[in-house]
Structure 1
Amino acid sequence: MNSLDNEFQRETFLSIMNGFQAKTLHQASLKSGWDVVENAVSTIADVVSSATFPAGDFGNSGIERAFENAYMVFAGGLGTKAVYIRQSGYDTHGDQDSAHSSLLSSLNSGLDSFIANMNAKGLWKDTIVYFVSEFSRTNGE
């Protein structure tokens, strides 16, 4: 299926949904859910089209991309108050020094890029970064 077919199907579906009149509670619920999805997609499209993309490269690790995504959410002006980012891989049973060095290096790089971009956008002054670890193994173990 090519992009013209996809666009035709999308437009046909939108036309049907926009003219849909619910006759039952179930249909009203479906229509309400569709309206929420349609508004969310419209909001995302608006944010993406006006987004301030990062000033620098965040890197390619999972945590670096997570910081980039967090920046995009805050810079997009959606009114988001909090973002949760998770980095796993610290529960090592061998080669801990090397593994932790790599993990912490990526964490540092992502956080540095996040701070720089939030500063450039004027958002850093209103930002709190909070780190939590639920694992208590020490580096010597």
Structure 2
Amino acid sequence: MKKILFLILAAGLFYACKKDKIGTKPLLSFKSYSEDSITPTTKTFVLTMRVEDGDGDIEDSIAVAMFKDSQQATSHDTIWTFYKMPNIGQNRGNKVKADVIMPFQEIDFAAAYNPVPNDSAHYIVFLRDNAGNFSDTIPTPKFPFRRNR
């Protein structure tokens, strides 16, 4: 009986002391879009990403690029737009889970809108923290360009 109790206690202690697996590399995942599509009348389009970081130093930058299906075969260059992350220094040294909200204005996607039937696009996103650690590059789900609502 004492051996079983000791094994249960040891297993409980091991489970309680297990470290969180986030580490220093930032984790990035897609959360949502504000709209289900882009139309000729769309003025803003909001991309929300979920960020997790084990040491809380995600203040450097986030990079975003749009890929249109109709241009995949002709364009091989990736045009990245870099945004400075907000100053969240009070979280340094602590685990961070946050949403990054990126509002794109009409100027950001109006040139991408074209009347090609059934055209769609998606973003690819990565994050760099202050220590120079990069998240994985994450593709977002596709969203269509619609002619009418």
Whether TM exceeds 0.5 here: the answer is no
Considering Cα pairs closer than 8 Å and 6+ residues apart, tell me whether 1 or 2 has the greater RCO: 2
Which structure shows the higher helix fraction? 1
**TM-score between both structures, scaled by the size of structure 2:** 0.31
